[in-house]
Structure 1
Amino acid sequence: MIDATHDPARTSWVASANGHSDFPIQNLPFGIFSPKDGAPRGGVAIGEEILDLGVALKLGLFEGEAQDAAAAASGPRLNAFFALGAGPRQALRARLAEVLDASGAERAAVEAKAGALLHRAADCTAHLPAAIGDYTDFYAGICHATNVGQLFRPDNPLLPNYKYVPIGYHGRASSIGVSAGAVRRPNGQRKRADEAEPSFGPSRNLDYELELGVFIGAGNALGEPIPIAGAGSHIAGFCLLNDWSARDIQGWEYQPLGPFLAKNFATTLSPWVVTPEALAPFRIPQPPRPEGDPAPLPYLLDAQDQAAGALDITLEVLIETGAMAAKGLAPHRLSRGSSRDLYWTFAQLVAHHASGGCNLSPGDLLGTGTISGPAPDSFGSLLELSRGGKAPLTLASGEERRFLEDGDTVIFRGRATREGFASIGFGECRGTVLPAPAV
């Protein structure tokens, strides 16, 4: 899958793309944006600019499969584009790399039309990439699962099924939003150990969860499983995902059926969908399971997936409090982790989801579950970092946090690096906590 589009020497005539931390010419992620006073439409991030796919179509820059893909991706949602699968997506990405190449034969002609073709990203509004019909959140971060289990079940942190089953639950798609949006603190029932009865009111233990989002491309028919060997081909792309969590509401409501109001109030995505093709250089073998762990059951085991089904992405969480913003202080980094710490591959999540006959559709979204590493500075939630609120964190500003307070902005960043290749990123996944509505 590594080809000329990954050449680290390749540069773009879009000057801001060269050396860009997230969106060099080697990335070319897809998303939905609207320019000022314009309607939402499909675009491609390139440096600090967005290439307008609809305009590129009108300029006649595509043909064949690339043209079909550009037409499907130029509307207000990427679902039709996702449904096309890998071939047309690869053709469009390769053609975009040619069009934007600083050494391309068409540079002069295309660059002359840059005023119509490109929009300054800072002047545009980002929208959800797809109409998300269904959302499933998994629990594939084993360090997170272990850390949380130790808080509540010190003698038995991981339940027996964890190493056999990719644990997941169905979430609510209607409350998924895009980065930079505000998140209203939820109300709900909560009960502390020292309280005789529950009360209803704002969550007192609001938290974030560092995850990767996985968009489904081509789906499957109802009743027809997706074999593990081909499950990766059903993935259209990846994003950063913050699955906000009200820990106190969840602690009271989750038995026996699991989270409900604690998780359905908000999920935030980064707006750009990074394709499997862009991430090809950063594929790695699935880390070996610890000695004594069971091998995946046959329906989840594929040699090629084990050899190259994981991704090496560095993930960061930062916080900017209201006081920090007022003083012009830089955000404080809370943790830095890696997607290497996922216990299951992305293909295994897809194959398991469909193994009982569930029909996945283009634009459906999977969350990996919270990604934490083995060390405290790699934990992907405040629940872990503050040990359930018992050990408050001291920020660079001198403020303390057990959980999130109103006015806090949480920022996720993700970057893939490998020697000999250009680094690529996801852009920010950002959300600011607003007070709960009056009850």
Structure 2
Amino acid sequence: MKPKLRFKEFTDDWEEKKLGEIAENFIGGGTPNTKVPEYWNGDIAWIQSSDIDKNSGKVNVEKHISDKALKNSAAKLIPSSSIAVVTRVGVGKVALLNHEYSTSQDFLSFVNVYGNPQYWFYEISKLMYKQSFYLQGTSIKGITKSEILNISTFCPSLPEQEKIGKFFSLLDQRIEKQERKVALLEEEKKGYMQQIFNQELRFKDEEGNNYPDWEEKKFLDSFSLIIDYRGKTPKKLGLDWGNGNIKALSALNVKKGYIDWNADVHMGSEDLYSAWMKKGDLKQDDILFTTEAPLGNTALIPDNKKYILSQRVIALRTNENCNPKFIFQCMNDFTFENQIQKRSTGTTAKGINQKGLSKIKIQLPSLPEQEKIANFLSLLDQRIEKEQEKLHLLKQEKKGLLQQMFV
């Protein structure tokens, strides 16, 4: 068995093995008694499933335990260069640790791996992703040690393992560098927004003069139209989706500042659109706002195509005194977000209605200054989107190479 893509100096077939054959030992974990403080004041990393990022395998250790905790619990001290695999809550997560650690009972660690640990980290990650996919939609809560160790795979010689492991490690470093670049740009924008909406940073007109002072206004006075079709479903209209080509936008699609077209998008027919959107069509730069689950996400309608406005989201159309892109940016400022949270109701799922929105006030500059602010922040958004696209392409490149360079 050979992969589709490999380094040209390697030609031998890969050898079939079970995961139970690739390491000297396989160690589980445990949770020390949380009611004993001296168990949790040590310097031994204690890893739980929530500490591991599913996509990258990065570990953010939240808790540490003591030697006494190890002696009085099922937790074990696991050596550096071991591979930690989540077996229960969070199946599919895998991490390669470059330091000693311990884990909860939801893990199985591969200790003293035969071969290159980096290579086996990527291979096991690929295999466990498949296992998590198989378990989706079933009542099975995890995967047993014997099931993991019985998984078959193919592996190359040690020199090829080392080259593959180093190659993907370098690719991950490129991805991490790009992630940091995106994060820095996002922090830069947050800083500018804080200064702008606190009015510490002001813009001037074309002649260098100050714009008028900002005025406090009711938030809902910024809009000429509120489009709200919450509660409507095809069934209530006596129809079905109809397999058309008109996208239905729900709260699932509206993220913080953008529309996620990869989320579950229903496609509606012309008949459904006509029956559903009787109060008005969506237009370019209408502001989408999620009223619950999740609360407070916003996005701009990108064009004048037809869209069906679906569950848990409303659309806001600004009046002639307000720039839609300025109001959109205002709604993404933490001051506005705090007001939304304060006015929300509910316990398990927080939400807000128009009565709650009517009590919110915002500071509004003159229209010319709104436009300057909107243009400035939109340029920052474009820079962020450009770098996010580079990050997305790197991740797609890695995904494709993983499929081709492993059997």
| TM-score, normalised by the number of residues in structure 1 | 0.25
Structure with more of its chain in strand, by fraction? 1
Larger radius of gyration: 2
**Bigger RCO of structures 1 and 2 (CA < 8 A, at least 6 apart):** 1
| TM-score, normalised by the number of residues in structure 2 | 0.26
